[in-house]
Amino acid sequence: MPTVVDLPLAGGCSCGALRYRVSMPPMMVYNCHCTNCQKVSGGAFSTAATIMEAGFEFVAGTPRIVEWTSDAGNTRYGMFCGGCGSRIANGQRPAGGFLSLRAGTLDDTRWIEPVGDIWLRSRQSWVSIPEERLRAEQQPGDYAPYVERFRAQGRFTA
């Protein structure tokens, strides 16, 4: 039986200066193996929850915004804590209405289970991907299978 999660979700940075609230259920959870996620996290990939920008708000602190060009050539921006450097979320310009929330910044991560992995062409050679996960060598052209697979986990009530 999957862990069912109540809204709102809450989270923050390592030092506690930034706190946020998510009032709408995530659309999906996935692992990103792009070179930017590797560099920013210091690890082989990052785990992200795609959320609606309209359902996200900082309730304490003001993030530092940093822009870069993604592996796909898009202008992206990240919201970081200016004190401890934790990346909370990132989005793209022009805004698409979605954010990639760093799942590890949530207070409750018991329910996090990625449905797929993206940017596998830049994954570390020692990383194994479970057979049941969705896969994309680059940025997927269609996220509908990821959204459907996450919805099927039944983590959030209507």
Query: What pLDDT does 158 receive?
Result: 58
Which whole number is the average pLDDT over 87-104? Answer: 91
pLDDT in the model for residue 127: 96
Do residues 81 and 88 touch, judged by C-beta distance below 8 A? Answer: yes
What is the CATH number for 110?
A: 3.90.1590.10
- Determine, yes or no, domain membership for 91: no
Q: What is the pTM of this model?
A: 0.91
pLDDT number for residue 33: 96
* CA dist., res. 7 & res. 19, Å (int): 15
Domain count along the chain: 1
33 within a domain of the structure (yes/no): yes
The CA distances from residue 83 to 4, 44, 62, 77, 134, in Å, are: 33, 24, 11, 18, 36
pLDDT for 10-60, tens place per residue? 999 999 999 999 999 999 999 999 998 899 889 999 999 999 999 999 999
Answer yes or no: is 76 within a domain.
Answer: no
- Does the residue 46 lie in any domain? yes
Sheet strand arrangement including 19-22: 9-12, 19-22, 56-60
Is 29 domain-assigned? yes
Whether 86 is in a domain gets the answer: no
> What's the pLDDT band for 1 if we cut at 50, 70, 90?
low
Residue 34 lies in a domain: yes
> Which residues constitute the domain of residue 53?
9-62+101-152
- Supply the pLDDT for residue 41: 87
- What is the pLDDT at residue 116? 98
